[in-house]
Every structure is written in C-alpha cells, then in structure tokens.
Amino acid sequence: FEFIRRYMEQGPDALPKVERYLPRGPSLRASISVWFYGIGAVGSAGGAMRVLTVLLSGPIFLLSILHYIAQLTSREPVWPTEVEAACGNSASPAMAQA
C-alpha cells in the first residue's frame, strides 16, 4: 500500500525505479521465482526449517515446471465480436496490451 500511497500523494516521480520487469510471455525463470518466493527466508531460520525447505524443494520445483508447461499450452482469451461491440471497446488488441 505504500507504493499506492506514494503515487497518489506525490506522483509517479516519487516512486522507486523498477528493479526487475516480468516477462510478457511464458518464462521458466519467472515460474521458478514465483514458486520459490520467500523460501530462502524460511531456510535461513535454521534447524528443522532448513530440513523442511530441502524436503519441499523437489515438489516445489516440480510445481514450477508444471506452471511453466501450463503457461506454454494455454491460449490468450479472445472475446466474441458481439461482446466487444456491446462494451464499446474500439481499441485493437495490440493497443490493449500497451
């Protein structure tokens, strides 16, 4: 919420620079980073948490691979033309992603 508060009160110039952009298409690196987010902090707690982290790394890696495959095999949703016309959306799909 701090990001939104800063933007609303001080404008876009007050925001920190973006450190890393997410890719537009499917990315194995992005899938792995999504599933392994925060696991380093859990593993650094030591003791039993470190063992738990090691044990869970295999299944989490498998989930990240499956996530990547799901991204590769899924298609972009396309609204029927009558729905687009009813909504008054005259923007082209290329403009909608910009």
pLDDT 10s digits, 54-86: 888 999 999 999 999 999 999 888 888 888 888
Residue 26 has which token pair? 């499917």
DSSP 15-58: SPPPS-PPPSS--HHHHHHHHTTTHHHHHTT-THHHHHHHHHHH
Mean pLDDT across the stretch 13-26?
83
Mean pLDDT across the stretch 10-16?
89
The verdict on residue 4 lying in a domain is no
The verdict on residue 80 lying in a domain is no
The verdict on residue 98 lying in a domain is no
Residue 16 has which token pair? 């920190």
Domain that holds residue 27: 22-75
- Helix, strand or coil for residue 91? coil
The verdict on residue 71 lying in a domain is yes
The verdict on residue 56 lying in a domain is yes
* The total number of structural domains that make up the chain: 1
pLDDT 10s digits, 20-49: 777 788 999 889 888 888 887 776 777 888
Model pTM?
0.59
The verdict on residue 97 lying in a domain is no
The verdict on residue 91 lying in a domain is no
In this predicted structure, what is the pLDDT of residue 22?
A: 74
